[in-house]
């Protein structure tokens, strides 16, 4: 009887061990890249030039880094070494004013700012000249409830992560509604549904990638609107965690020239990279306030030369990283 | 005059009773000193801007709210109430509800 019990217990333990190892191998991928090295950081809390009060968005073009300095209601511009160049915007609701700017996107020589409190997308020239406003508050087509991010198609169409409306909208350049993904106001965890989407970006071939924030995953849609794939934790089904390829709220996405996807993994204090099909490549960062550590990373941007810039929200600073493969090659 | 004084006394007693009984449910703006017109709300988990800004936006929509401060390290929000306005705890809780804040929150007091 005792021997039988031991056998059963042994079998159970073996089953558990095999399940754990199998699960780990199945759902926790290994790093496939040499990774990234911390280069420098700049900024501290405050409202002066080069200081931040909640950096929540970042974009790069040419030799300049644009940062959404959210609580200060402004955009700050730096060179790649972190030297302050200029700023524009002030808190408010008018043209040229900003209220809780979030993720940024640069396209066709213009800066697109998702304004969380003003429920709109505001477009600036890169010199800071305000040009136009797209959308207003509401849940009808073409309206927003706290947009978190925006992407621009080559034809000028906008794709907007409409956070509280639980949808992504496609609009013409003049704001005219085209279509949407997700059901307005309805949270869902199945494919094509969202749980507070925070950002969007267009990838190679015109695919649409959505940072499905609180579903802890990335969803990808074909140009015809159909669902293609999703990733983030087991089955991409709102299971969060600290492992490779898992997320704890995705807040920003960017795709580099090679088609590599960079994702800001907010509560895991790191950036993760993936191939276009969602294969995990590497992760960098970690919690803290030292060099190369993040306190809740909100946003990520990649320059033409592969340099990565990240908004280190809790530490009120911007971090600069380089691919180790690039550094070795130099 | 006497009757008026008695009425005032009765009125004061009533007011005292209201404050003692309903104090935790009512944030009185006008009669209190400036430092007492702050309301502290415990908001565990309010680290992300998406949650914080959502809550702050709804709180600012309350007519009596003058200022909203996020005390990030303490995971608290401090509401400052306008001198001539009243904000009830029900209004504060309704604002949180509207913001869809996913974690527990609690009015700690003034």
For chain B, which residues make up each domain, given as ranges? Answer: 1-33, 36-109
Confidence tier at A326 by pLDDT (50, 70, 90):
confident
Per the CB < 8 Å rule, is A116 touching B100?
Answer: no
Confidence tier at B11 by pLDDT (50, 70, 90):
very low
CA atoms of A33 and A284, how far apart (whole Å) = 11
Q: Note the pLDDT of residue B10.
A: 39
Q: Which residue has the tokens 């511009």?
A: A77
Per the CB < 8 Å rule, is B50 touching A313?
Answer: no
| Minimum distance, in Å, between the CA of residue B58 and any CA atom of chain A | 10
Answer whether residue B24 shows pLDDT above 90.
Answer: no
- CA-nearest residue to A163 within chain B is B50
Q: Note the pLDDT of residue A24.
A: 59
Q: Note the pLDDT of residue B33.
A: 43
- CA-nearest residue to A148 within chain B is B50
- What's the pLDDT tens digit per position in B32-75? 444 458 999 999 999 999 999 999 999 999 999 999 999 988 99
Q: Is B49 on the interface with A (CB under 8 A)?
A: yes
- Count the Cβ atoms, other than its own, within 10 Å of residue A275: 13
Q: Is B100 on the interface with A (CB under 8 A)?
A: yes
Residues A16-34: what's their mean pLDDT?
A: 74
Q: Which residue has the tokens 């209220």?
A: A99
- What's the pLDDT tens digit per position in A43-97? 999 999 999 999 999 999 989 999 999 999 999 999 999 999 999 999 999 999 9
| Minimum distance, in Å, between the CA of residue B48 and any CA atom of chain A | 8
- Is residue A240 within 8 A of residue A249, CB to CB? The reply is yes
Three-state DSSP class for A6? Answer: helix
Distance of CA B104 to the CA centre of its chain: 17
Q: Which of B49, B50, B72 sits opposite A196 (nearest CB)?
A: B50
Answer whether residue A304 shows pLDDT above 90.
Answer: yes
| Minimum distance, in Å, between the CA of residue A117 and any CA atom of chain B | 7
- The angle at the Cα of A92, spanning A91 to A97, to the nearest 5 degrees, equals 80
Answer whether residue B21 shows pLDDT above 60.
Answer: no
Predicted TM-score of the model (pTM): 0.87
Q: Look up residue A267 and give its two tokens.
A: 């509560």
* Residue B37 CA neighbour count, 13 Å, CB half: 19
List of chain A residues whose C-beta atoms are within 8 Å of the C-beta of residue B49: 54, 56, 70, 100, 102, 116, 298, 313
Q: Note the pLDDT of residue A210.
A: 98
Per the CB < 8 Å rule, is B57 touching A116?
Answer: yes
Confidence tier at A1 by pLDDT (50, 70, 90):
low
Q: Look up residue B110 and give its two tokens.
A: 């003034």
Residues A162-173: what's their mean pLDDT?
A: 98
- Count the Cβ atoms, other than its own, within 10 Å of residue A288: 13
Q: Note the pLDDT of residue B6.
A: 40
Rounded to the nearest integer, the mean pLDDT of chain A is 95
Per the CB < 8 Å rule, is B47 touching A146?
Answer: no
CA atoms of A56 and B43, how far apart (whole Å) = 20
Fold designation for B36-109: Alpha-Beta Plaits (3.30.70)
Q: Note the pLDDT of residue B4.
A: 37
Per the CB < 8 Å rule, is A196 touching B47?
Answer: no
């Amino acid at each position: 009887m005792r021997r039988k019990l031991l056998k059963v217990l042994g079998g159970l333990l073996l089953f558990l061990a095999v399940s754990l190892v199998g699960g780990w191998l199945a759902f926790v991928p290994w790093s496939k890249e040499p990774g990234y090295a911390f280069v420098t950081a700049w900024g501290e809390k405050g409202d002066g030039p080069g200081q931040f009060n909640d950096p929540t968005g970042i974009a790069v073009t040419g030799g300049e880094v644009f940062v959404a300095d959210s609580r200060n209601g402004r955009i700050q511009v730096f060179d790649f070494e972190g030297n302050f160049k200029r700023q524009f915007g002030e808190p408010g609701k008018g043209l040229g004013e900003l209220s809780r700017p979030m993720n940024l996107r640069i396209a066709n020589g213009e800066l697109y700012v998702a304004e969380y409190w003003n429920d709109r997308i505001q477009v600036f020239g890169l010199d800071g000249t305000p040009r136009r406003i797209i959308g207003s508050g509401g849940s009808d087509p073409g309206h927003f409830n706290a947009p978190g991010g925006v992407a621009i198609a080559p034809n000028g169409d906008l794709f907007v992560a409409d956070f509280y409306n639980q949808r992504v909208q496609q609009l013409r350049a003049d704001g005219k509604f085209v279509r949407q993904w997700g059901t307005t106001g309805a949270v869902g965890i199945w494919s094509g549904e969202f749980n507070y989407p925070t950002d969007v970006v267009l990838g190679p071939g015109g695919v649409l990638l959505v940072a499905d924030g609180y579903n802890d995953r990335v969803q990808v849609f074909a140009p015809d609107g159909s669902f293609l794939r999703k990733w983030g934790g087991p089955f991409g089904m709102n299971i969060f965690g600290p492992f490779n390829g898992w997320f704890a709220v995705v807040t920003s996405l960017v795709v580099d020239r090679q088609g590599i996807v960079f994702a800001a993994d907010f509560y895991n204090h790191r950036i993760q990279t993936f191939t276009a099909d969602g294969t995990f490549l590497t992760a960098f960062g970690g919690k803290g306030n030292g060099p190369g550590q993040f306190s809740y990373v909100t946003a990520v941007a990649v320059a033409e030369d592969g340099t990565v810039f990240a908004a280190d929200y809790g530490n009120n600073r911007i971090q600069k990283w380089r691919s180790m493969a690039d550094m070795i090659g130099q | 005059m006497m009757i008026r004084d008695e009425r005032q006394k009765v009125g004061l007693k009533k007011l005292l009773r209201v404050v003692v009984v309903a104090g935790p449910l009512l944030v009185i703006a006008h009669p209190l000193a400036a430092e007492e017109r702050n309301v502290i709300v415990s908001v565990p988990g309010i680290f992300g801007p998406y949650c914080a800004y959502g809550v702050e936006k709804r709180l600012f929509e309350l007519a009596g709210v003058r200022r909203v401060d996020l005390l990030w390290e303490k995971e608290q929000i401090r509401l400052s109430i306008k001198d001539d306005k009243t904000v009830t705890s029900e209004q504060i809780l309704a604002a949180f509800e509207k913001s869809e804040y996913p974690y527990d929150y609690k009015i700690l007091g003034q």
